[in-house]
Each structure stands twice: as structure tokens, then as C-alpha cells.
Structure 1
Amino acid sequence: AAPLSPTVHHFLQVTMGVPVIQGYGMTENFAAAVIQPFGFTRVGSIGAPIPCTEVKLQDTDDYKSSDTYPTTAQEFSQSPTFKGTFNPLLAGKVVPRGEVLLRGRNVFVGYFKMKRETQQAM
């Protein structure tokens, strides 16, 4: 999956005639961890954590939870960690980044009656 572009977001709203709500999730957390509240959608946002989920950005070797956005399109294109399209409105600003960590009752704790497979997956 990837972020929904503003063009596609607008196209879906116009052609379907319904609000388009974005979110973030994966199989391991029952498909939803973060979602936009109905009626409070904003293009480029995935919303807030659902009530049973905690979200944290963790530093990694490639990403720091507070990283500075490249100042030029050339610097952006040469960056090994920034992807997508350069946004001049973010140039030089500190942006939140990092590995997304999830915790909550909806997060995978193991395969049902498959202890060995669970240990291998963890």
C-alpha cells in the first residue's frame, strides 16, 4: 500500500459521491490501527489511532523520529530515505519519521494453537 494521492482522493469523492476516509493498518493488527474520523477527513492524513491502539515512531539506522526534510528537490532525489515527490512546503522543516510500532488488544500475539509457528514469526 501507499499514500493516496490528492488527485485520486478527489477523483474518488467526485465519481463515487461519498467521503473518502483514509487509514493505516495491516493483517497483524486486524487491518486497522489508525483511521480518519468520519466527517473530519483531510487529504494527506491517515487520522488518529483507534481507541484500543497505541502508536509510536521508533528511530532506526535509516530513519530518525525527528528528521529534517531536504531543502531542495535535488537533495530530496538524492536522499536514500525520503521517497515520493518533493514537497517544497516541508523544505528544511523537522518532520516525524521512523519505524511505526503498534501496541494494543488488536495486535497479533500468536497463531491459534500453533506455538512453534508463532515463535518462528516473532
Structure 2
Amino acid sequence: MSNIISFPQRIRPLEEAGRIGILIDYFCNRRRTTEDVFWLKENGELLNLLETSMVTLNTSDLTHYQNFYYSLEHRLCFFPQYYRFILSLALDLEALGRGQGKSAKLCQWVVDHNLVGAE
């Protein structure tokens, strides 16, 4: 029995919050660019899942979306055809505690420009 060598575990399992942070980083930064409609769709679905499942997030997890959140108005003006995706992302980010107040202004802009009627 004295010849038994125990090796330390090489990869420690991540805590749930750590895994979620990695998942958010992957979807937000590593799959597609923010100008791609599929980025809007995938990240919208991810944020909606995070919001509705009431997962506990680290305060740093949503910092990946900081630049996107600050550019919401510009994106909506440039891509009005994607207003549903953009509004969904804005609402979910605000519900998750990242930013506040832009969603109402964006919704009003959509109404003022009759984007729903243009569909």
C-alpha cells in the first residue's frame, strides 16, 4: 500500500455561477458579432432563460453586454427591422439588473415610428 500514488484532481469542477459566466461569455463574445441577427436571437434567448429561471448571477457576468446596452439606441435606429430582438435584449438586461431606463424610451421610439404597423 505504500506504493500508491494519489494525484490531485487536474480540473476542479466550477461552481454553477462560474459555469454560467463562461456560457454568457461564449455566447456574447465568441460565437458571432453583435451585428449578426443570429447573435441577437441567441443572446436574446440566453438572457430570457436566465431571467425566467431566476438563476443567481455574479455581478460581473453581465458586463459582457455593457457595450451592447450602451449602443441600443443606435442599433435600433440602424436596424429597425430587428426591433423585437433589440427590445427583448434591453428588457431582459434591465430585468437582470444591468442598466435601467432605456427600455421604456426604446418602446416609445418603436411606437412613434410605427414599426409594428410596418410589419
Q: Which TM-score tier does this pair reach, normalised by the shorter chain?
A: under 0.3
Higher helix share: 2
Give the TM-score normalised by the residue count of structure 2.
0.23
Higher strand share: 1
Q: With structure 1 as the length reference, what TM-score do the two structures score?
A: 0.23
Structure label with greater radius of gyration: 2
